[in-house]
Amino acid sequence: MSQPEFDNILLDNSEFLKPFAVTLTRDTEVARDLFQETLYRALANRDKYHNGTNIRAWLYTIMRNIFINNYRRQRKQRAVVDISPYELVLDYLPENQHHGNPTYSSLQVKDINKAIYDLPELFRNPFLLYFEGFRYHEIAGMLKEPLGTIKSRIHFARKILKTTVERN
């Protein structure tokens, strides 16, 4: 199939992708980008299209794969950057690196540290190990406790800390 023939088939059968892109992304701007990326990939991979193949199904598959790959990529990025509202995050920057009111910031860190060390030892030890970067199974091995028990204690430590910090 020649380049002009493929281009015509592609243009004649690409409009059905726009509503599908909006359905996938739920955002018209992102849908436009997804649509353009799909057409670009279709043109770049024209040699992989076999004459007689359902062009709509081929384009649909390209779009779906691009969407899934983008979703996975964003999810990985969020896993590193995004902070869940249910997670307790401590800020240990030196006082001179805090933005805003350094006294207020250092008081918050002091309050959080106090709350951590006021936790019952049963919860404090697993939480501190988790906060230092150990994984659940490593903590379970160190403390010689079942994995589920460690996860539960860290969860309850977070809940206690959250309510303690919110009261202050």
pLDDT tens-place string over residues 112-158? 778 888 888 899 889 988 888 888 988 998 889 999 999 999 999 98
Which of 55, 81, 107 delimits the end of a domain?
81
State the pLDDT at residue 36.
Answer: 92
Q: Whole domain around residue 67: which residue ranges? A: 3-81
State the pLDDT at residue 92.
Answer: 46
Same-domain status, 8 and 53: yes
State the pLDDT at residue 35.
Answer: 92
Same-domain status, 66 and 109: no
CA 112 from centre of chain: 26
High-pLDDT (> 70) share of the chain, %: 80
